[in-house]
Structure 1
Amino acid sequence: MNHDQEIAKERIAAELDRSRGRSNALTLRALDDEGLLAQHSPLMSPLVWDLAHVGNYEEQWLLRAAGGREALRPDIDGLYDAFENPRADRVTLPLLRPAEAEEYNARVRKEVLDTLETADIAPREPGAPGAGRSLLDAGFVYHMVIQHEHMHDETMLATHQLRRGAPVLLEDPDDVAPLRVPRQDEVLVPEGPFTMGTDDDPWAYDNERPARVVDLAAFWIDTRPVTNAAYQEFVEDGGYQSRRWWTRDGWEWCKGRDAVAPAFWQRDGHAWIRRRFGRQEIVPPDEPVQHVSFHEARAYATWAGKRLPTEAEWEKAARFDPATGRSHRYPWGDEEPEPRHANLGQRRLGPSPAGRHPDGASPLGVQQLIGDVWEWTSTTFTGYPGFAAFPYREYSEVFFDSGYKVLRGGSWATHPTAVRSTFRNWDHPVRRQIFSGFRCARDAEPV
């Protein structure tokens, strides 16, 4: 084994350990058996289901598919199949108890680390037969499993937000990070082509591929996400009572839910308060608004005389460098995220104030594109031209063209390994238990 593979395997082992430590902290270390087995919302699974599911997914892909090992627990595959069992039904299944799930996950992990020692995770040569299509190519299948567990960790955090009861998640004091509010509220993204998607990122999923050149007209985009204070102006102006700002589907959703503000907001006299992981607090005016649906984001944008950006516009604003013509992996370049760049990885239990992390700005001066809140776009989720499902259709393809809207950029709850400027998330336009916000865009006037 050469030195590069040694380094790559050390990174994989460390990231596997980090993801499992986080999963255990959100489940076994946070709640008792009753709390883990309970269904806190019909929108979400019991937390113990997520815990055993990540272990079963790891077993199926790293031990069976990539490692050639025999199944450890084939009897539980059906219980933890996300497509066979809707979330609302999972509480009725004969799930592993928390201690059993912990033991099973530990057994899987021990064998995974054994197989990792002899796995050939060298990158294939560009142009070689099957290049980019091997599970082990550049460690892809390990990266896939690591990201999958962190995605479920974010889902677990959404479950904790919906859970009623006393706070159980500890929060470190807010870090003192640079605060630099942009001098402009919006910037002009010039017309012209840029490279969207990727061909060579070893962590990228099938729906991020293949790379292609996209030519866009010039447009304006906000330099930061819409804040709670800005969104409150929409609320106070009767935004939820005026049909004119909403599409037909959006208005039906708004009236059907009797929505009057973002999820978890509540009026208290002249102020708005919010519930955040069991804590009641005044809504902080300078944070990006979160827990808003696509319908709410689009209504606000219409009220503001703007619109939501398309997915392509968001990605160009996030990664295109007009000085070089290059598309970078992140807004700030190609180096991996550090705390100075973005609020990621559950370092705090909410977004940072708008204007934090100026080192993470894009070359055009757009801030907080990575981290803090997932940002709704106007684009319906589908495959790029030339899309090929890999390694299974159920990750992306089965969701194409079904009305799901694309979200970009990750949130404060997203781990750095599970976000980049090409990463695509998607959800129903009615969803708002997720850590979702948005920024606005508008067309540029013809010169």
Structure 2
Amino acid sequence: MAEVAPAPHAASPPTLFQKVRRLSLELAAHLSDADATVQSMPDASPAKWHLAHTTWFFETFVLRDHVPGYQLHDPRWPFLFNSYYEAEGERHARDRRGMITRPTLDEVRAYRAHVDHAVLRAWPDLPDEARALVELGCHHEQQHQELLLTDLTHLFAQNPLEPAVWPASTRAPVAVPGPANWIEHGGGVAEIGHGGAGFAFDCETPRHAVLLQPFAVADRAVTNAEWAAFIADGGYDSPGHWLADGWAWARANAVRAPLYWEGDGEGWTSFALDGRRPVDPAAPVAHISFYEADAYASWAGARLPTEAEWEVAAAGADPLGGDQLDGPGPATPAPVRPGARPGFFGGTWEWTGSAFRPYPGFRTAAGAVGEYNGKFMSGQFVLRGGSSASPRGHLRASYRNFFAPDKRWQVTGLRLARDR
């Protein structure tokens, strides 16, 4: 289970709880019942399901288990809104979540209001274990806020009208940055992982020593302009740059550009929640798979950083800085400004070359919450840094996101590394 001692700057759980719960509703405020019900692919979930599942988490692990006499809002709904917790019993199939036309979106909103009221009313009498679960549930819901946005992007991209959920962002044009600079590190023994005060998910622990060879990482993420050069140079047609599995995946799925890109070398466009727009050459490339990121790094004469290299390089950066989610909006990565200080947080999640495996000494917690991360430590790669769809305040240097290597509907990009 996650360590939950509050950091000095952190909001108390009731304040954090109210803030997080309010943002989820704001992100879904412009959706119709149909918008919030449809599921575009098995990996994605309907917005209505995200709103209900995060509520089920609080109702199940806090109210049901720690508040004497609490009665479930609807005893049929745990079957619908359990995600993957085997200890909680049978559940609705993940690839059929889009078939849950009832309860309606308004009924889910009422469910949220019922559970919110019950949690806040129970807070003064909750034991420490339950308070820790409230904090875990808040960070869990922040993860689902990002998923809600990326799942909606995939959903609306399937509509031939490519409708916009929000007006286009009004960002001033930025000059395309020049070549990235390199941040050198001499290697040696370093420590990574979460330790001390503040919240962290269980997979970020325990803090431990690693031995690093001398390395360097780029001071910024790869941009759309650089990715367009990779395409123009035949990057998607050169098997020598690709892992065998990646080449097979790209061929089988006719992958020729990042997800949501359309066009050619004369002018690329990309779809987001503010509609289809010209690709901003100065913005970080997004919606690429691990396979694509690894191929680009090979083409560029570099490699992906390990997660240990990334964390050591980012240790002094501000996790509250960078391009992150502050409220409803399209949540597309902002352009990289020439001459800006090196940043490691926000913009796009950055693929690393590290498999998502347990740290030395990792132990899963007892009970259903022990299924949160440990059971997924197979066949996935680690991403670091957060994205423009990550709620501000949710990130830290030790944060480990993870996805299978072929997934790219998340706001995923890359930063280059090299040996010294």
- Tell me the TM-score normalized by structure 1: 0.82
Hey, what does 1:244 align to over in structure 2? 240
Pairing of 1:134-145 with structure 2 (within 5 A): 135-136=129-130, 139-145=131-137
Hey, what does 1:55 align to over in structure 2? 55
SS at match of 2:268: strand
Structure 1 counterpart of 2:280, which letter? Answer: P
1:142-175 residue CA offsets vs partner (Å, 9 max, x unmatched) = 2211111111111110122111342122455448
Hey, what does 2:344 align to over in structure 1? 369
| Pick aligned residue for 1:153 from 135, 142, 145 | 145
Provide the rounded CA distance (Å) in 2 between the counterparts of 1:198 and 1:176. Answer: 38
1:244-287 residue CA offsets vs partner (Å, 9 max, x unmatched) = 11011000011011011100111157111111225121110111
1:167-204 residue CA offsets vs partner (Å, 9 max, x unmatched) = 12245544899x99699621211211222112324310
Hey, what does 1:420 align to over in structure 2? 396
When the two chains are superposed, the root-mean-square deviation of aligned CA atoms in Å is 2.7
Contact 1:245–1:300 under 8 Å retained in 2: yes
Pairing of 1:210-359 with structure 2 (within 5 A): 210-267=206-263, 270-277=266-273, 279-319=275-315, 331-332=317-318, 337=320, 341-346=321-326, 349-355=331-337, 358=340
1:346-404 residue CA offsets vs partner (Å, 9 max, x unmatched) = 5562112224894xx5xxxxx2311110010111111101101136232111111x210
- Structure 2 gaps, min length 5: 85-90
Provide the rounded CA distance (Å) in 2 between the counterparts of 1:381 and 1:10. Answer: 30
Provide the rounded CA distance (Å) in 2 between the counterparts of 1:285 and 1:172. Answer: 16
Hey, what does 1:167 align to over in structure 2? 164
SS at match of 1:393: helix
Once the two structures are TM-superposed, the CA of residue 120 in structure 1 deviates from its matched residue by: 5.2
Contact 1:196–1:316 under 8 Å retained in 2: yes
Percent identical among aligned pairs is 31
Contact 1:161–1:278 under 8 Å retained in 2: no
- Tell me the TM-score normalized by structure 2: 0.88
Structure 2 counterpart of 1:354, which letter? Answer: V
Instruction: From the superposition, tell whether residues 169 and 14 of structure 1 become closer, same or farther in structure 2 (CA, over 3 Å).
Output: farther
Hey, what does 2:21 align to over in structure 1? 20
Hey, what does 1:111 align to over in structure 2? 118
Instruction: From the superposition, tell whether residues 145 and 356 of structure 1 become closer, same or farther in structure 2 (CA, over 3 Å).
Output: farther
Provide the rounded CA distance (Å) in 2 between the counterparts of 1:151 and 1:37. Answer: 19
Task: Choose 33-42 or 202-211, whichever is displaced more.
Answer: 33-42
Task: Choose 260-269 or 288-297, whichever is displaced more.
Answer: 260-269
Once the two structures are TM-superposed, the CA of residue 95 in structure 1 deviates from its matched residue by: 4.3
Provide the rounded CA distance (Å) in 2 between the counterparts of 1:110 and 1:293. Answer: 41
Provide the rounded CA distance (Å) in 2 between the counterparts of 1:247 and 1:66. Answer: 49
1:303-326 residue CA offsets vs partner (Å, 9 max, x unmatched) = 01111011111111111x6xxxxx
Hey, what does 1:131 align to over in structure 2? none
Hey, what does 1:37 align to over in structure 2? 37
Instruction: From the superposition, tell whether residues 393 and 95 of structure 1 become closer, same or farther in structure 2 (CA, over 3 Å).
Output: farther
| Pick aligned residue for 1:394 from 362, 371, 396 | 371
Task: Choose 142-151 or 60-69, whichever is displaced more.
Answer: 60-69
Instruction: From the superposition, tell whether residues 143 and 176 of structure 1 become closer, same or farther in structure 2 (CA, over 3 Å).
Output: farther
Task: Choose 289-298 or 76-85, whichever is displaced more.
Answer: 76-85
1:406-443 residue CA offsets vs partner (Å, 9 max, x unmatched) = 11111011012321111111011111100000111111
Instruction: From the superposition, tell whether residues 355 and 193 of structure 1 become closer, same or farther in structure 2 (CA, over 3 Å).
Output: farther
Contact 1:351–1:372 under 8 Å retained in 2: yes
Hey, what does 1:65 align to over in structure 2? 65
Structure 2 counterpart of 1:166, which letter? Answer: P
Provide the rounded CA distance (Å) in 1 between the counterparts of 2:171 and 2:365. Answer: 40
Hey, what does 1:379 align to over in structure 2? 354
Once the two structures are TM-superposed, the CA of residue 41 in structure 1 deviates from its matched residue by: 3.4
Provide the rounded CA distance (Å) in 1 between the counterparts of 2:164 and 2:334. Answer: 20
Structure 1 counterpart of 2:97, which letter? Answer: R
Hey, what does 2:88 align to over in structure 1? none
Provide the rounded CA distance (Å) in 2 between the counterparts of 1:9 and 1:97. Answer: 35
Hey, what does 2:87 align to over in structure 1? none
Larger RCO (CA within 8 A; separation ≥ 6): 2
SS at match of 2:79: coil
Structure 2 counterpart of 1:198, which letter? Answer: H
Contact 1:292–1:437 under 8 Å retained in 2: yes
Provide the rounded CA distance (Å) in 2 between the counterparts of 1:118 and 1:170. Answer: 44
Provide the rounded CA distance (Å) in 1 between the counterparts of 2:146 and 2:69. Answer: 29
Task: Choose 44-53 or 282-291, whichever is displaced more.
Answer: 44-53
Contact 2:232–2:265 under 8 Å retained in 1: no
Hey, what does 1:327 align to over in structure 2? none
Once the two structures are TM-superposed, the CA of residue 67 in structure 1 deviates from its matched residue by: 4.1
SS at match of 1:298: helix
Provide the rounded CA distance (Å) in 1 between the counterparts of 2:418 and 2:52. Answer: 45
| Pick aligned residue for 2:190 from 189, 194, 213 | 194
Task: Choose 264-273 or 226-235, whichever is displaced more.
Answer: 264-273
Contact 1:150–1:414 under 8 Å retained in 2: yes
Structure 2 counterpart of 1:416, which letter? Answer: R
